Amino acid sequence: MGKHKIGEWIIAVRPWSIPASAMPIIVSLAYLFFKGHDIDWALGAWTLIGMILFHLSGNVWSDWFDFRKKVDAEDTFGAKTLTTGMFQPAEIRNLAIILLTISVISGLGLVAMTGIGLLYIGLAGAALTVLYPFLKYNALGDLDILLTFAFLPTIGTSYVTTGAIDWSVLWIALPVGLITDGILHSNNTRDMATDRRADIKTMAMGLGTKASALLYGFEMIFPYIWVGVLSIIGILPTSTVFIFLTLPVAIGCAKTMNSSVTGGTAIIADLDVRTANLQLMFSVILATTLVVAKFI
C-alpha cells in the first residue's frame, strides 16, 4: 500500500459508523447482566473488538465494490476515499482483505475459546459481510444489515459470554437493529438517482421516495413503542423508558426524511450520520438503564 497519513487511513474505514456494530454488543452485555447471567467480560470485550473489525472491513469492502460498479462517483454523496483519488482501488481492496483476515483470525480464536456453535454464527456474519455489496445491489441490503448488526451479534454475544444462547436477548436486538437499518435506508433513499444510474436496485428504489420515507419513519419510531410495551409488561425494567429522552431526535430525523419527498434528496445529505448518532444515544441509554436496574 502507498504512503498515507494515519488520518487518511482512519477516514477510509469510516469510524463514525462504529456505533452501529459496537452498540448491539454493548446493549446485549447490559441485558445479559440485567438477566443475572454469569458473564465472561474478557470474552465480551474480545467479541466487541472483533465485531468492530468485521464492520470496518465491510465498510472498506463495500466502498471498493461501489467504486468498481460506479455506484460511487465524483457527484455522489458516498465515500470519497476513491472518488477523490485519495486512495487507489488496490489499496482499498487490500485494506479490506487485511481487516477481514484479522477479523476471521479473531473469530476463530473465540471459537477455540468457546465452542463450535460460534463458528456457525461467525460464518453467517462473514458471508453477509462479503456478500453485502451483491445483496445491496439486489434490494437485500436492509435485510443483510438487520441480520449482521442486530440478530447475529446479540445471540453471538450471549453464546460467547455465557456459554449458551439466551434467545430472549432478541427482545433488545430488534429496536437497536431497526435504527441501525435506518442508517443504510436513509443512505439508499438519498442515493436513489445515482444508484439508478449505476444500474443497481436497492430496497429504497423499489419502494419509491414516499414509501421509503414511511419505512424510515417506522424504523425511527417503532423502537420506542417496542421498548415501552416491553417495559409495561415486565420483560424490560421500567427504567428503560428513559430512552424516550431521545424521541425528539428520532422524530426530527423522521420529519427530515419526510420533507425529502417534496424537497429533494439534498435535504437528507447527512441523515445517515444523524441516524448513527441517534442509534448511539438510544443504545447508550438503553444499556445504562439495564445495568442500573440490576442494582435497584
pTM of the model: 0.91
CA distance 11 to 93: 15
Q: Within 13 Å and on the Cβ side, how many CA atoms surround 17? A: 27
Q: What pLDDT score does 76 carry?
A: 64
What is the model's pLDDT at position 199? Answer: 85
What pLDDT does 77 receive?
66
pLDDT at 126: 87
Say if CB 268 and CB 189 are below 8 A apart: yes
Question: Residue 73 has what pLDDT?
Answer: 62
Express as a percent the part of the chain with pLDDT over 70: 96
Question: What pLDDT score does 2 carry?
Answer: 54
Q: Tell whether the model's pLDDT for residue 242 goes beyond 90.
A: yes
Pairs from 266-270 (Cβ < 8 Å, separation ≥ 24): 268/186, 268/189, 268/190, 269/77, 269/190
Grid cell of 75 as nine digits: 457527484
* Residue 37 near residue 161, CB atoms below 8 Å: yes
For the segment 151-208, what is each residue's pLDDT rounded down to a tens digit? 999 999 999 999 999 999 999 999 999 999 999 999 899 888 888 888 889 999 999 9
3-class DSSP assignment, residue 80: coil
CA distance 149 to 21: 6
Question: Cell 417534496 identifies what position?
Answer: 262
Judged by DSSP in three states, 25 sits in helix
pLDDT greater at residue 118 or residue 17: 118
Q: Beta-carbon neighbour count of residue 83 at 10 Å?
A: 17
Q: What is the mean pLDDT of residues 96-114?
A: 93
Phi–psi pair at 249, nearest 5 degrees: -65, -45
Q: Residue 221's pLDDT band (boundaries 50, 70, 90)?
A: very high
